[in-house]
């Protein structure tokens, strides 16, 4: 399903994501991720979500990035479902959907 932001001018979802990722990295302290590496990972994953917000990549492609650059204890799918449930993201009709202009 294609998603788009309900309010494109709000960046609150990115702040939420940043906070959740930072907490998970701090709690799990994964090997190979010092403070600088952890922050770089968080910022890189935020870029992925920004690209999804712009429509450059799909939610599935974003999920694949998150799976590849896994943050222990964090689920991109769960976060995205939370954001949909909160109304941050809404479904978009397919681009190919016919429009009825007849009146």
State residue 84's pLDDT score. 94
- Rounded to two decimals, the pTM is 0.82
Question: What ranges do the domains of the chain cover?
Answer: 3-91
Helices (H), 2-100: 12-28, 35-54, 59-68, 76-85
pLDDT in tens, 41-100: 999 999 999 999 999 999 999 999 999 998 999 999 999 999 999 999 998 654 544 444
Q: Give me the pLDDT at residue 92, please.
A: 62
Report phi then psi at 96, rounded to 5: -85, 5
């Amino acid at each position: 399903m294609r998603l788009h932001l309900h309010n494109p001018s709000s960046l609150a979802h990115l702040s939420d994501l940043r906070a959740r990722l930072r907490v998970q990295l701090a709690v799990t302290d994964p090997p190979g991720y010092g403070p600088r590496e952890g922050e770089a990972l968080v910022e890189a994953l935020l870029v992925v979500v920004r690209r999804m917000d712009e429509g450059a990549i799909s939610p599935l492609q974003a999920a694949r990035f998150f799976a590849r650059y896994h943050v222990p204890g964090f689920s991109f799918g769960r976060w995205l479902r939370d954001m949909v449930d909160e109304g941050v993201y809404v479904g978009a009709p397919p681009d190919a959907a016919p429009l009825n202009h007849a009146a």
